[in-house]
């Protein structure tokens, strides 16, 4: 059986007839988009002249938005299938290692799948195994045939190829335990190839992202100049009238933010998820200290935000004039206490990576010692205490003391996993203990675990190089964005001041006559320059918001690529806000000095 195309797999997984899905979801999304668009146009003045969506813009929105919502509903099943494939492939490396270790005990196929269907931490892959188990047990299908059926409808080519090979081997008479052992190298190479392909895709997406951000910056520059030259109004304008005045700037800003949001989703869908820190419920000194520090930092941040907000409101007239210099710094300052928990988490992540590097040596020594001595666990660990395992030494000492109490060996290993705080060590240690107990061959089990972890660490090194490149690109792009937008603000400011000065000299002049004399090319701002200052203020504030959006996007992407968590992402966001704020202040001062020097 050949694997079905992606769209056919998506249709089979929506669990309803295609006509019903089109009528309810796609048709419903189109109708919802039409209703929302109609309400939005009505609330912003309809299609009349001066409205936010006047004329062709409103008609275009009324047509485009419903089709966009319908298209989103149309592609949703395909995206879900792709998401399932990513989740399955993420677990394949761990899955095949566990299967190989279980096969050391010469267990049968039914026993292996009985164990696997209880592995809830394998997520989408566990569901695929459950489908095979259902076909075998409830529909009396042979294991090879059930594997082919699931492979045909699997969203992951890697999983489908594995099941196809397994079905052929079983029908050829090869025992499943022998097949699982022989598959270690094959699946490992396929997983490495897939991982490298994803990282190459990330490198290509970096270049695309830089190009799109550059195009978005160009659109913002044009929109800013257009705002000064053509945006006229008064200080008493309603919010709808203000939005109408700056609608092209809002459109350019929307496109810029869509680029950031799209980049986040695209990178997250491409980058293999590989968390550094383990997720379990046991309390450790690090987790207690991090929680307390986070709560304290959050309290101080909230207080500083309230004080800063009150100060900005009180001195708004003065601050708004210099927002391009101090705006980002006023945002970064109250958020700075959150750098403390972010620093603690970042330091712990570095320690975890050091522990992961020494883990293959430790688990190989542990398996060999257990095989040679056949002693109780505490004696086996005690025999290793003279060996230097680097960052793991303290955790091993605490493990030996817990095991020597002979109260609960399994709980002692759980605390060892929590103490190392490593997602890799936590999962692979459980696999080793389970395999060593079921097979009675701790040395062979440890060798499989060591090779698997070594291969994973090799992939992590390549990922770290890509993460470092992404960090450099993000920093350079952020500085370039802030600098170019500050240059635009300066140009817009000087242009506005010049036009306002010229317009002031025309107080007794008929601007309409000038337009007629100049073949209709007189600028609207020549008639009314009172809104120039407000337009420039709004441009500065919108630019700051867009910079914050870009910072959030690149921080989320870089943190995902590095394998960090939410606190690490928050810390990186605050650091980049400081970088953007200092860059903005420096460039604004330099540009002011240059303007004064050359008399601009």
Same domain for 507 and 363 = no
Mean pLDDT of all residues in the chain? 84
- Is 188 domain-assigned? no
pLDDT at residue number 506 = 55
In the chain, the percentage of residues whose pLDDT exceeds 90 is 31
Q: Which of 401-405, 511-515, 589-593 has the lowest mean pLDDT?
A: 511-515
State whether the Cα torsion 219-270-423-196 is positive or negative: negative
Same domain for 209 and 153 = no
Measure the CA angle with vertex 518, ends 515 and 523; round to 5°. Answer: 50
State whether the Cα torsion 44-47-52-53 is positive or negative: positive
Q: Is the pLDDT of residue 514 over 60?
A: no
Provide the total of helices (H) and of strands (E) in the chain, helices listed first.
Answer: 23, 0
- Is 186 domain-assigned? no
CA distance 35 to 39: 6
Last residue of one domain, picked from the residues 412, 438, 453: 453
Q: Would you say 563 and 463 are in contact if contact means Cβ atoms under 8 Å apart?
A: yes
- Is 545 domain-assigned? yes
- Looking at residues 363-378, what average pLDDT do you find? 81
pLDDT at residue number 504 = 60
Q: Is the pLDDT of residue 512 over 70?
A: no
- Looking at residues 68-95, what average pLDDT do you find? 87
313-333 burial, b if ≥16 CB within 10 A, otherwise e?
A: eeeeeebbeebbbbbbebbbb
Q: Would you say 229 and 524 are in contact if contact means Cβ atoms under 8 Å apart?
A: yes
Same domain for 374 and 316 = no
Same domain for 582 and 478 = yes
pLDDT at residue number 6 = 84
- Residue the block writes with tokens 């050359």: 598
Q: Is the pLDDT of residue 542 over 50?
A: yes
Same domain for 67 and 114 = yes
**pLDDT per residue as tens digits for the range 140-154:** 888 889 989 999 999
pLDDT at residue number 519 = 44
Residue 566 CB burial class (10 angstroms; 0-12, 13-18, ≥19): exposed
Q: Is the pLDDT of residue 507 over 70?
A: no
Q: Is the pLDDT of residue 551 over 70?
A: yes
Q: Is the pLDDT of residue 446 over 80?
A: yes
In the chain, the percentage of residues whose pLDDT exceeds 70 is 88
Q: Which of 378-382, 426-430, 580-584 has the lowest mean pLDDT?
A: 378-382
pLDDT at residue number 568 = 92
**pLDDT per residue as tens digits for the range 386-435:** 788 888 999 999 998 888 887 788 889 999 999 999 999 998 998 888 88
Q: Is the pLDDT of residue 245 over 60?
A: yes
- Is 183 domain-assigned? no
Which of residues 408 and 74 earns the better pLDDT score?
Answer: 74
Q: Would you say 152 and 2 are in contact if contact means Cβ atoms under 8 Å apart?
A: yes
Which of residues 365 and 494 earns the better pLDDT score?
Answer: 365
The DSSP result for 313-330, as a single string, is: HHTHHHHHHTHHHHHHHH
Q: Give every CB contact of residue 150 below 8 A, 6+ residues apart in sequence.
A: 128, 131, 132, 135, 163
pLDDT at residue number 518 = 46
Number of domains in the chain: 3
- Looking at residues 153-166, what average pLDDT do you find? 90
Residue 562 CB burial class (10 angstroms; 0-12, 13-18, ≥19): buried
Same domain for 24 and 165 = yes
Same domain for 518 and 498 = yes
- Is 116 domain-assigned? yes
- Residue the block writes with tokens 């993000």: 474
- Is 560 domain-assigned? yes
Same domain for 447 and 469 = no
- Looking at residues 525-535, what average pLDDT do you find? 66
- Is 517 domain-assigned? yes
Domain, as residue range, for 399: 354-453
Q: Is the pLDDT of residue 509 over 60?
A: no
- Is 187 domain-assigned? no
Residue 27: pLDDT band with limits 50, 70, 90: very high
**In whole angstroms, how far apart are CA 111 and each of 102, 133, 149, 176?**
9, 11, 21, 11
Which of residues 562 and 518 earns the better pLDDT score?
Answer: 562
Measured between its terminal Cα atoms, the distance across the chain in Å is 74
**pLDDT per residue as tens digits for the range 420-431:** 999 999 989 988
Q: Which two tokens stand for residue 447?
A: 């060798």
Last residue of one domain, picked from the residues 406, 433, 453: 453
Same domain for 472 and 394 = no
Q: Is the pLDDT of residue 189 over 90?
A: no
- Residue the block writes with tokens 């460039």: 587
Q: Which of 34-48, 182-196, 418-432, 516-530 has the lowest mean pLDDT?
A: 516-530
Same domain for 545 and 399 = no
Residue 476: pLDDT band with limits 50, 70, 90: very high
CA distance 345 to 339: 10
Same domain for 104 and 148 = yes
Q: Would you say 113 and 80 are in contact if contact means Cβ atoms under 8 Å apart?
A: no
Which of residues 205 and 375 earns the better pLDDT score?
Answer: 205
Last residue of one domain, picked from the residues 408, 423, 453: 453
Q: Which of 118-122, 313-317, 552-556 has the lowest mean pLDDT?
A: 118-122
Q: How many residues make up the chain in this entry?
A: 600
Q: Which two tokens stand for residue 106?
A: 């010469």
- Looking at residues 202-210, what average pLDDT do you find? 92
Same domain for 583 and 548 = yes
**pLDDT per residue as tens digits for the range 267-323:** 887 887 788 888 777 888 888 999 999 999 999 999 999 999 999 999 988 888 888
Q: Is the pLDDT of residue 565 over 70?
A: yes
pLDDT at residue number 349 = 92
pLDDT at residue number 311 = 93
């Amino acid at each position: 059986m050949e694997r079905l195309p992606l769209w056919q797999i998506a249709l089979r997984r929506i669990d309803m007839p295609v006509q019903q899905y089109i009528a309810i979801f796609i048709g419903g999304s189109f109708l919802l988009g039409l209703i929302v668009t109609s309400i939005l146009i009505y609330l912003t003045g309809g299609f009349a002249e001066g409205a936010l969506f006047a004329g062709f813009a409103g008609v275009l929105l009324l047509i485009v938005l419903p089709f966009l919502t319908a298209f989103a509903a149309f592609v949703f099943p395909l995206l879900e299938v792709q998401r399932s494939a990513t989740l399955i492939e993420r677990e394949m490396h761990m899955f095949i290692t566990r299967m190989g270790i279980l096969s050391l005990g010469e267990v049968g196929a039914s026993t292996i799948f009985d164990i696997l269907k209880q592995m809830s931490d394998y997520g989408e892959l566990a569901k695929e195994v459950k489908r095979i188990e259902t076909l075998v047990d409830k529909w009396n299908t042979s294991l090879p045939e059930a594997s082919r059926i699931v492979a045909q409808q699997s969203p992951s080519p890697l999983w489908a190829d594995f099941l196809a090979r397994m079905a052929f081997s079983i029908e050829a008479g090869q025992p499943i335990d022998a097949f699982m052992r022989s598959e270690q190298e094959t699946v490992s190479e396929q997983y490495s190839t897939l991982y490298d392909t994803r990282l190459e895709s990330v490198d290509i997406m970096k270049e695309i992202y830089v190009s799109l951000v550059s195009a978005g910056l160009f659109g913002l520059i044009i929109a800013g100049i257009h705002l000064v030259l053509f945006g006229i109004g008064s200080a008493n304008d309603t919010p709808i009238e203000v939005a109408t005045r700056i609608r092209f700037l809002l459109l350019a800003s929307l496109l810029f933010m869509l680029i950031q949001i799209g980049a986040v989703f695209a990178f997250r869908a491409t980058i293999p998820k590989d968390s550094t820190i383990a997720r379990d419920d046991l309390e450790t000194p690090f987790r207690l200290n991090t929680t307390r520090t986070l709560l304290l930092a959050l309290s101080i941040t909230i207080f500083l935000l309230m004080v800063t907000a009150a100060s900005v409101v009180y001195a708004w007239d003065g601050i708004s004039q210099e927002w391009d210099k101090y705006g980002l710094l006023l945002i970064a300052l109250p958020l700075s206490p959150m750098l403390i928990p972010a620093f603690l988490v970042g330091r712990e992540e570095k320690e975890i990576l050091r522990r992961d590097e020494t883990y293959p040596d430790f688990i190989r020594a542990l398996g060999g010692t257990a095989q040679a001595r056949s002693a109780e666990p505490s004696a086996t660990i005690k025999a290793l205490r003279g060996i230097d395992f680097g960052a793991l030494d303290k955790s091993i000492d605490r493990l030996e003391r817990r095991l020597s109490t002979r109260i609960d060996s399994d709980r002692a290993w759980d605390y060892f996993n929590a103490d190392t705080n490593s997602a890799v060590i936590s999962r692979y240690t459980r696999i080793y203990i389970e395999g060593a107990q079921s097979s009675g061959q701790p040395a062979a089990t440890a060798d499989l675990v060591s090779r698997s972890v070594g291969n994973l660490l090799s992939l992590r090194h390549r990922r770290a190089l890509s993460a470092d490149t992404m960090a450099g690109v993000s920093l350079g792009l952020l500085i370039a964005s802030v600098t170019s937008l500050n240059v635009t603000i300066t140009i817009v400011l000087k242009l506005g001041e010049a036009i306002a000065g010229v317009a002031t000299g025309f107080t007794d002049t008929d601007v309409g006559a000038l337009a007629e004399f100049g073949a209709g090319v007189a600028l609207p701002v020549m008639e009314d320059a009172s809104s120039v200052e407000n337009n420039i203020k709004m441009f500065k504030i919108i630019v700051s918001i867009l910079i914050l959006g870009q910072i959030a996007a690149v921080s989320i992407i870089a943190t995902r690529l590095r394998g960090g968590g939410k606190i690490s992402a928050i810390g990186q966001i605050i650091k980049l806000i400081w970088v953007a704020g200092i860059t903005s202040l420096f460039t604004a001062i330099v540009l002011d000095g240059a303007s004064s020097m050359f008399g601009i």
